[in-house]
Structure 1
């Protein structure tokens, strides 16, 4: 029989998970075009919601492969959402990359929104994960280096 601490911890974790699952159900009702499924997809769906609502991007159809949205002028955009990782992983090709950082209170910041190719050129390839990886700090530096005319999207 588990001790009181372990039992209380399990009960607390169950309550938190129940809250997350209830929130996912509410999010599905609010924005049914996103799956809001699984804990891993929750962050990604939130990033895509920000991209469509804040950046006015058009969500790509399911199964679009390398990209998640399109700009009004038709450019493809891969969207990455980060909470705590120091690295961003990505695969495939797109015209633009949008990387959003989510904070503990659910607020967010734009880490990078610009051309995809320079990011891919700076990234390292991880054969183990079969994807490119780039440090968030490198993305911030690249974003700062983009001239206003190049960053016009």
Structure 2
């Protein structure tokens, strides 16, 4: 395993190094087409609302959020104080934010936001979590991202030189 993307691509293209540049680009395009095709099929066949990785994160955050205590001091329907593990967090559902910033950055309800959603929506809150999540994680968005084809570069023999 390597953390450097250039080293990773270099190792993937070890056999193609001596080929012309257009052939190297075609090899890269072919490999990425295959990876994207597999990802498309995997997500398209899933029975979830969001992509599997996002669904897993949501379920884990729901489990963690079930162990937290929620307080709604000011009576607002969107502002909550969440307590647990010796610390507190402020959650604002209308802004989709948490004072720990994970919700703000990842755009999926964190464990604190899940606890707030549980108080706001009761036992049926699991059906509302998608309304408080970014749609970039939806199956439709993901499938659209992988829909465009990757075009190969023309080989030198295909170029017309006059």
Q: TM-score, normalised by structure 2?
A: 0.27
Larger radius of gyration: 2
Which structure is higher in helix share?
2
Q: TM-score, normalised by structure 1?
A: 0.28
Which structure is higher in strand share?
1
